[in-house]
Amino acid sequence: MFESLSDRLQGVFANLRGKGRLTEADINDAMRQIRLALLEADVNFKVVRDFVSAASARCMESEVLDSLTPAQNVVKVVLDELTRLLGEVNEGLGLSPNRVPNVIMLVGLQGSGKTTAAAKLAYLLKSQGRRPQLVACDVYRPAAADQLETLGGEVGVAVYRAPGTDPVAIARAGVQEAIDNLRDVVIVDTAGRLHVDDDMMAEAQGLKEAVEPDQILMVVDAMTGQDVVNVAAAFAERVDFDGVIMSKMDGDARGGGALSVRQATGKPIKFISSGERPDSLEAFHPDRMARRILGMGDVVSLIESAVKVQAEEEEQEAAERLAKADLTLNDFLDMNRQIRKMGGVSKLISALPGGDKALASGQVDEGALDHMEVIISSMTKAERSKPDLINGSRRARIAAGAGVTVTEVNQLMKRYAETRKMVKRMMPALDAPAKGKKGK
């Protein structure tokens, strides 16, 4: 996802960096290339037009052109505009605190990933301490209810289904089932169609009136590209919705849908799903996604998924370390151990700056993690928390203890130092406003 757009944009920036001082012609040229890259990524043309015009205007400000680091400022402008395009901040799910049970209704075309998203959302809410109830309202495809039942079973969430052809009656009974069993959030999976059609819209409208959802979320397959604008407009007109779940972000979609939907509909992407496993739904953070697209990695999400599987106390420690933007070798070792639980090395690497390229070029050595574990295990507690202690003679001792060569210990220390430096560099640097940026 976003791979080719990411490559193109990085190419534009590399070109600018090579130039030192920038002229208006350089900016125009860069903006033309950015425009093409976005169009090729299947971003809606109106969205592209507005994006390029806003970014150009800001880049032409004298503070950007005349600064000592114009290329970096251009990158920062594009990062800001991309973040804005994606919706600025995560808007949260938006359930009323005064209502029990809350009701969430999922709509979307058939095959968009609605049923799996329902189960993933139930899993996510359950892991946050909620007591969800799934309700299967697709009366046309019994297989959809079967699928929801299976997925519900996998994530340990009750599924309500009933025979009959009236989805409204089933939805009402599903909400009642939740009330009777003291469940506090109901997730209604509705029927989709292959294309936008009147019957589907009328049915969704009827369900909306019957169960008055706190949130209606439209599920969109990331592969839909800019056609998302038409699908969303149809749903917005007939049922309206509050936000988007963008599914299949792990595929090779060019990214046009994700980049167009907010601007074109005014509705935020609230969640993204990037896999078939129940835990592959996560809150969408526009700023992190923008950084990823620009090849700056996604260290914050990475660390979040690492701490997700740790005990609460460890989470607290990790958050504190993150606040200081420093990593000890203990963090490094923990990360290593969590990687297996997080879906493997490849997923982790792809979240790091340049990671997608490393994966593509086969530089990723899956076995390196086992080595790392053995070497770090041979260090003392003090060495792990204060890696600067590790001098030449300590390296020799560690190598002997781990049964590896000193070169391998050096390689590990180098990799650790690079990661530590990257975390330090990324956190504060990106919070600083670009020169020339007008206050918002």
Annotated binding site for GTP: 108-115, 189-193, 247-250
Q: Nearer Cβ to ligand GDP, position 119 or 296?
A: 119
Q: Which residue lies nearer to ligand GDP by CB, 35 or 288?
A: 288
Is the CB of 151 or the CB of 327 nearer to ligand GDP?
151
Q: Are 21 and 70 in contact (CB under 8 A)?
A: yes
Among 116, 133, 330, 336, binds ligand GDP (CB under 6 A): 116
SS (H, E, C) 309-322: CCCHHHHHHHHHHH
Sheet-wide strand order for 281-283: 158-160, 132-136, 185-189, 102-107, 215-221, 243-247, 269-273, 281-283
| Cβ distance to ligand GDP smaller for residue 55 or 121 | 121
Q: Torsion angle of alpha carbons 276, 281, 285, 289, nearest 10°? A: -10
* Total binding residues toward ligand GDP, as defined by CB under 6 A: 19
Q: Site for ligand GDP (CB under 6 A): which residue of 248, 254, 288, 347?
A: 248
Q: Between 312-323 and 299-308, two packed helices, what is the crossing angle to 10 degrees?
A: 160
- Long-range interactions of 370-375: CB distance < 8 A, separation 24+: 371/404, 371/408, 371/412, 372/332, 372/333, 372/336, 372/412, 372/415, 373/333, 373/336, 373/337, 374/402, 374/403, 374/404, 375/399, 375/402, 375/404, 375/408, 375/409, 375/412
- Cβ proximity to ligand GDP, 112 vs 226, nearer residue: 112
User: At closest approach, how far in Å is the CB of 221 from ligand GDP?
Assistant: 8
Instruction: Select from 113, 243, 268, 286 the one that contacts ligand GDP (CB under 6 A).
Output: 113
Two tokens, residue 257:
């849908």
Using the rule CB under 6 A, give the single segment among 91-99, 153-161, 273-281, 414-422 that binds ligand GDP: 273-281
- Does the footprint of ligand GDP cover residue 44 (CB under 6 A)? no
The reply on whether position 152 binds ligand GDP by CB under 6 A is no
CA dihedral 149, 151, 154, 157 (to 10 degrees): -60
Indicate the residue among 102 and 274 with the shorter CB distance to ligand GDP: 274
User: Helix H segments across 131-227?
Assistant: 142-155, 167-180, 198-211
- Which listed range, 126-134, 267-275, 324-332, 356-364, lies at the site for ligand GDP (CB under 6 A)? 267-275
Window of 63-71, 152-160, 178-186, 246-254 that interacts with ligand GDP by CB under 6 A: 246-254
When binding is defined by CB under 6 A, the residue of 35, 58, 84, 114 that contacts ligand GDP is 114
Q: What gap in Å lies between CA 201 and CA 95, rounded to an integer?
A: 23
Spatial contact of 94 and 243, defined as CB atoms under 8 Å apart: yes
List 250, 279, 315, 373, residue binding ligand GDP (CB under 6 A) = 250
Establish if 102 lies at the interface with ligand GDP (CB under 6 A). no
Q: Which of 56, 83, 112, 260 forms a contact with ligand GDP (CB under 6 A)?
A: 112
By C-alpha distance, which of 128, 83, 75, 44 is closest to 285?
Answer: 83
Largest CA distance in the chain: 76
Point out which residues pair with 273 in neighbouring strands. 281
Helix (H, G, I), strand (E, B) or coil at 123: helix
Per CB under 6 A, 350 contacts ligand GDP: no
Q: Which of residues 185-214 bind ligand GDP (CB under 6 A)?
A: 192
**167 near ligand GDP, judged by CB under 6 A:** no
The site string for ligand GDP over 277-316 (x = CB under 6 A, - otherwise) reads: ---x------------------------------------
Q: Where does this chain bind ligand GDP (CB under 6 A)?
A: 108, 110-116, 147, 192, 247-248, 250-251, 273-276, 280
